[in-house]
Amino acid sequence: MSAPDVPGAAPARPGRWTLTAYAAWQFVLALGLLVLWVLWVLGAVLLVVWVGALLLAVAVPGVRAIATEHRRMAARVLGLPEPRPYLPLPAGNPMGALWVVMRDPMTWRDLAWSVWAFTLGLVWSLLCLVQALGVVTWPLWWWGLRWQLRWRSLVDLWFLGRSRTEHLEQRVQALTESRADVVDHSAAELRRLERDLHDGAQARLVALSMSLGLADQAFDDDPERARRLVNDARETTSAAIGDLRSVVRGIHPPVLADRGLVGAVQALALDMALPVRVNAALPGRPPAPVESALYFAVAECLANVGKHAAATEAWIELGWDDGRLHARVGDDGRGGADPAAGSGMLGVRRRLAAFDGRMSVSSPAGGPTVVTLEVPCELSSPRTTPSSAPE
């Protein structure tokens, strides 16, 4: 069996009475699983008519739900994070979802596991319960229950977890999709830079050239007008420099290079119109590309707070633990944020996916909204040399 699909802290292992409750619950679920397995077989046989499709519409989600419950119990018994091996289903497309379910290898592994679960697995769980209830068998329950449930859990996860080959295939697919997203995002960024340079700095430099040309023509006949044109050119030069600085900040903000991620996030908070509490501490410095990606992700989240949340305050938590750099951006606004509704949050997701990161959004109606950003990375030693580079 491969490693669990979702990283996270291992849960605390249950005690004997909790394990006994697990055995009882497994016994009950095995009886329901027998009924669902029969419906599954009948549905497959009768699939040529609409009755078979109805039976499968009941059996497949039912078996998945019971299998997921066994994954949860097995992960608790073994002290592992719970695996979530199913392929994601498309929203609003029943036929597409059915096709994904049928081609998902875990669907057929669930079916094979169900045969084990309502036969030998049922007997296994029943033995654990009999040991707990008998006076003579009570010592077996006391000393052997943990090992019995452990072996049962290993068998369950052997069936219900992805194999190493499936895990690698899923990983390759995820990397392929994230690479395509990054290519699209990079192309969009290049178009944005080109547009900013064309509409901003280039336009001002053209105006500067025209002002200087007119001033050159007016020096002999109208020195006062030439002086005004030179002053206008000086102002245009300052504006062009400001535009170029804005473009440079969009590529890699100087504050990020100077102060690091913590200082840059604190600077973002100070620029907000509403109060933003920052709780940030890092024992070192992440790689520059990861640092930049998380900085722009936090900046986009704060921009959404200012534009859409109608919040009175916001907060940022930034830290690193267990090899993962994480940030949480929250606000007390009206909630109801949909990360799929705008291009900004989709851009954040693409940025993080390039580094195997992820984004999750919790935004119930009425708030609060909390956006969680995570990127796996290692930190270098902290940089203590103060920067004196100008912005």
Same domain, 262 and 222: no
- Is residue 283 assigned to a domain? yes
The residue among 229, 251, 273 that closes a domain is 251
Query: How many C-beta atoms lie closer than 10 Å to residue 53's C-beta?
Result: 13
In the numeric block, which tokens belong to residue 79? 């002290």
Q: How many CA atoms does the CB half-sphere of 29 hold within 13 Å?
A: 24
For residues 204 and 341, membership in a common domain is answered with: no
In this structure, the answer to whether residues 226 and 240 fall within a common structural domain is yes
What is the full per-residue pLDDT of the chain (391 aa) written as tens digits?
333 333 344 455 677 788 888 888 988 999 989 899 888 888 888 877 778 778 888 888 899 999 999 999 988 888 887 777 787 777 777 777 778 888 888 888 888 899 999 899 888 888 888 787 765 567 777 777 888 888 888 888 888 877 666 666 666 766 666 666 666 656 666 666 666 666 666 666 777 777 777 777 777 777 787 778 777 777 777 776 766 666 655 556 677 777 888 988 988 888 888 899 999 888 888 888 888 888 888 988 888 888 888 888 999 999 998 888 999 999 998 888 877 666 677 778 877 877 888 888 888 888 888 999 998 888 886 543 333 333 3
Instruction: Give me the domain span that covers residue 180.
Output: 173-251
Bridge partners, residue 372, by sequence:
328, 360
Residue 385 falls within a domain, yes or no? Answer: no
Residues in the chain: 391
pTM score, whole prediction: 0.48
| Residue 365 and residue 274 share a domain | yes
Cα(299)–Cα(268) distance, integer angstroms: 7
**Same domain as 144, residue 20:** yes
The token pair at 371 is 């956006």
For residue 89, what are the β-bridge partners?
none
Nearest alpha-carbon partner for 373 in 265, 247, 258, 255: 265
Answer yes or no: is 308 within a domain: yes
Let me know if residue 315 belongs to a domain. Answer: yes
Q: What are the phi and psi torsion angles at 323 (to 5°)?
A: 75, 15
Instruction: Give the chain's domain count.
Output: 3
Name which of 94, 28, 27 is nearest 61 in CA terms: 94
Cis peptide before 368 (omega within 30 of 0): yes
Task: Tell whether 33 and 157 lie within a shared domain.
Answer: yes
Looking at the structure, tell me whether residues 365 and 315 fall in a common domain: yes
- Asked if residue 106 and residue 49 are part of one domain, the reply reads yes
Q: What is the CATH number of the domain that holds 335?
A: 3.30.565.10
Q: What is the dihedral of CA 175, 181, 185, 191, to 10 degrees?
A: 120
Main-chain phi, psi angles of 341, to 5 degrees: -85, -25
Please tell me whether residues 372 and 274 are part of one structural domain: yes
Q: How far is 71 from 58, CA to CA, in rounded Å?
A: 20
The answer to whether residue 3 sits within a structural domain is no
Is 391 inside a domain boundary? no
Residue pair 324/375 in contact (Cβ under 8 Å)? The answer is yes
| Residue that finishes a domain, picked among 251, 278, 302 | 251
Please state, in angstroms and rounded to a whole number, the distance separating the CA atoms of residues 231 and 106.
72
Whether 327 is in a domain gets the answer yes
Domain match, 32 and 143 both: yes
Count of CB atoms within 10 A of residue 48's CB?
8
Residue that terminates a domain, selected from 162, 187, 207:
162
Looking from the CA of 92 toward its CB, the CA atoms found within 13 Å total 0
Q: Are 217 and 345 found together in one domain?
A: no
Decide if 390 is inside a domain: no
CA distances from 151 to 1, 24, 72, 129 (A): 14, 16, 15, 16
Are 39 and 56 in the same domain? yes
